[in-house]
Chains A and B, each alone.
Chain A
């Protein structure tokens, strides 16, 4: 899967699970998803499951930190970094 396809899937996942009819593109990419109330801690765990199951990227426990998952831009940056290392998406 290339980065564009991954981003498309991420958008679909967000719109189906975290957004209430809002558009993914309208969310400020730097805003804290938890502080803004879009996602709670169980939501983060389900996002990790989505990244592992639907995208095929192995997420290590030590990587599940607010710096990687608490905003859309940090999630993008995290996925990009993962896809550029050996933990490539299948």
Chain B
């Protein structure tokens, strides 16, 4: 296996090729920017102003992890907006994470809701998709199958909550390594939103039946709300992202780092299991792509990245999850 000498991509990843200089295909072809600048500050402020009479103007997908905590703090300080933090509890959030959600939303004076689906249903779905064969191969290079599934459930949930509550802006605290976009603020047409979920929705509902349909956006509901599609806002995309200062800043609002997660999660115990499944099946770390993006964009050093992906799983959490999965699906 060859590893890129600039980032951490290796040629176990099917889209990666290492050239004779030791660079991967992404490091060797960085494009010079031709200067389309999307600065959306005014647009965001006017969206908030125009929706002043609504109960909330921003809904934030709040995982309780460090990045979404920092995003919450940032948007709270930056905008004069009423914010609803929505947490999807996949059943594997660490106790520290749940405590962090309470403390942080209290300290920031933000309303919070936590939505959890029944453990049996969720575990069966995760187990069914864990080997990744139902996902586009591109999705498998960027995250584990379980992580992809979980994010998809979160997106479906957040869109639904935003639409029924008439909240104009959805905020996701993705790092600049997770989403490479030129548009920190974007309003997607409902057809594009549905297209991204269509395949997995069909796979899950045909395997487990109509009782899983409610966890995905309904086509007719989306069509009826074509004119009410919320904007997506990624506050990190155009801000300098430094993990150390993120953690320092959120400690001030009571956030505590959980001790039982892996090196790449600051909220979810299931990630240890999801990472391990991915590494065993594909031979590369599911965070290698995100971390390599961060290295390439100058947010992380290669050494910092190496430390992060060296820590695949927390052994205790991994064992606990294996037992729980076995109990329900075994």
Which residues of A are at the interface with B, using a C-beta cutoff of 8 A?
A: 12, 15-21, 34-35, 37-46, 48-50, 52-59, 61-62, 64-66, 70, 90
State whether A40 touches B180 (Cβ < 8 A).
no
**How far, in Å, is A55 (CB) from chain B's closest CB?**
7
Determine the distance from Cα of A57 to Cα of B35 in the docked complex, in whole angstroms: 10
Determine the distance from Cα of A72 to Cα of B87 in the docked complex, in whole angstroms: 37
**How far, in Å, is A11 (CB) from chain B's closest CB?**
12
**How far, in Å, is B55 (CB) from chain A's closest CB?**
25
Determine the distance from Cα of A49 to Cα of B38 in the docked complex, in whole angstroms: 11
Question: Is B240 interfacial (CB 8 A cutoff)?
Answer: no
Determine the distance from Cα of A12 to Cα of B182 in the docked complex, in whole angstroms: 19
**How far, in Å, is A50 (CB) from chain B's closest CB?**
7
Cβ-closest chain B residue relative to A54: B31
With A34-B136, A54-B34: A61-B187 Cβ-Cβ less than 8 Å: yes
Cβ-closest chain A residue relative to B37: A52
Determine the distance from Cα of A61 to Cα of B189 in the docked complex, in whole angstroms: 8
**B138 is contacted by which of A18, A58, A59, A64 (Cβ under 8 Å)?**
A18
Q: Which residues of A contact B191 (CB under 8 A)?
A: 65-66
Q: Which residues of B contact A62 (CB under 8 A)?
A: 189
| 5 closest Cβ pairs, A-B complex | A41-B196, A56-B34, A54-B31, A49-B182, A52-B36
Q: Which residues of A contact B139 (CB under 8 A)?
A: 40, 42
With A40-B136, A43-B138, A90-B34: A64-B195 Cβ-Cβ less than 8 Å: no
Per-residue CB contact flags for chain B residues 132-149 toward chain A (1 = under 8 Å, else 0) read 000111110010000000
State whether A53 touches B33 (Cβ < 8 A).
yes
**How far, in Å, is A36 (CB) from chain B's closest CB?**
9
State whether A40 touches B17 (Cβ < 8 A).
no
State whether A46 touches B34 (Cβ < 8 A).
no
Question: Is B183 interfacial (CB 8 A cutoff)?
Answer: yes
What are 7 of the A-B contact pairs (CB < 8 Å)?
A40-B138, A41-B196, A45-B183, A53-B34, A54-B34, A62-B189, A64-B189
Determine the distance from Cα of A58 to Cα of B34 in the docked complex, in whole angstroms: 11
Determine the distance from Cα of A66 to Cα of B195 in the docked complex, in whole angstroms: 8
**How far, in Å, is B286 (CB) from chain A's closest CB?**
14
**B192 is contacted by which of A20, A44, A53, A54 (Cβ under 8 Å)?**
A44
State whether A35 touches B199 (Cβ < 8 A).
yes
Determine the distance from Cα of A50 to Cα of B180 in the docked complex, in whole angstroms: 9
Cβ-closest chain A residue relative to B174: A42
State whether A49 touches B138 (Cβ < 8 A).
no
**How far, in Å, is A74 (CB) from chain B's closest CB?**
13
**A66 is contacted by which of B135, B180, B183, B192 (Cβ under 8 Å)?**
B192
State whether B138 touches A21 (Cβ < 8 A).
no
Q: Which residues of A contact B186 (CB under 8 A)?
A: 45, 61, 64
Per-residue CB contact flags for chain B residues 166-209 toward chain A (1 = under 8 Å, else 0) read 00000000000001111100111101100110010000000000
State whether B192 touches A65 (Cβ < 8 A).
yes
Question: Is B39 interfacial (CB 8 A cutoff)?
Answer: no
**A70 is contacted by which of B25, B26, B195 (Cβ under 8 Å)?**
B195
Question: Is B14 interfacial (CB 8 A cutoff)?
Answer: yes
